[in-house]
Amino acid sequence: MKYTSIFAAAVTALASAVSAAGVTGAAEGFARGVTGGGNAAPVYPRNTDELVSYLGDSQPRVIILTKTFDFTNTEGTETSSGCAPWGTAPGAQLAINKNNWCNNYANTAPKVNSITYNKAGVLGITVNSNKSLVGQGSAGVIKGRGLRIVSGAKNVIIQNIAITDINPRYVWGGDAITLDNTDLVWIDHVTTARIARQHIVLGTQADNRVTISYNFIDGRSQYSATGNGHHYWGIYLAGTNDMVTLKGNYFYYTSGRLPKVQGNTLLHAVNNYFDSIDGHAFEIDAGGYVLAEGNAFKNVATPVQLPVSGQLFSAPNAAANQQCRSVLGRPCQVNAFDNSGSFNNQANTAVISKFAGKSIAPANLAVNIPRWVLANSGQGKI
Asked if 25 and 34 count as a contact pair (C-beta separation under 8 A), the reply is: no
- What does pTM read for this prediction? 0.94
The pLDDT of residue 317 is: 96
Reduce the DSSP state of residue 12 to 3 states and report it. Answer: helix
The pLDDT of residue 9 is: 43
The pLDDT of residue 18 is: 36
Residue 235 host element (H or E): strand 235-237
pLDDT at 77 over 50: yes
The pLDDT of residue 226 is: 84
Distance CA 241, CA 284 (A): 16
Mean pLDDT value across residues 115-131: 98
16-30, 73-87, 131-145, range with the lowest pLDDT: 16-30
- Residue 17's pLDDT band (boundaries 50, 70, 90)? very low
Which candidate in 220, 257, 330, 371 is catalytic? Answer: 257
pLDDT at 365 over 70: yes
- Residue 164's pLDDT band (boundaries 50, 70, 90)? very high
Q: Which fold has domain 28-73+115-376?
A: Pectate Lyase C-like (2.160.20)
pLDDT at 4 over 70: no
Asked if 183 and 149 count as a contact pair (C-beta separation under 8 A), the reply is: no
The pLDDT of residue 19 is: 42
Phi, psi at 325, each rounded to 5°: -60, -40
- Residue 5's pLDDT band (boundaries 50, 70, 90)? very low
The pLDDT of residue 107 is: 87
Q: What is the mean pLDDT of the chain?
A: 94
- Residue 350's pLDDT band (boundaries 50, 70, 90)? very high
Q: What is the pLDDT of residues 223-244, one digit of tens each?
A: 999 899 999 999 999 999 999 9
Cis peptide bond prior to 259, omega within 30° of 0? yes
pLDDT at 311 over 90: yes
Q: What percent of the chain has pLDDT over 70?
A: 95
Mean pLDDT value across residues 255-279: 97
Reduce the DSSP state of residue 78 to 3 states and report it. Answer: strand
Mean pLDDT value across residues 100-107: 90
pLDDT at 15 over 90: no
The pLDDT of residue 3 is: 37
User: Is 197 part of the annotated catalytic residue set?
Assistant: no
Cβ burial 34-70 (10 Å sphere, 16+ → b, else e) = bbbbbebeebebeebeebbebbeeeebbbbbbeeebb
Q: What is the pLDDT of residues 179-198, one digit of tens each?
A: 999 999 999 999 999 999 99
pLDDT at 16 over 70: no
Reduce the DSSP state of residue 7 to 3 states and report it. Answer: helix
The pLDDT of residue 20 is: 57
Q: What percent of the chain has pLDDT over 90?
A: 92
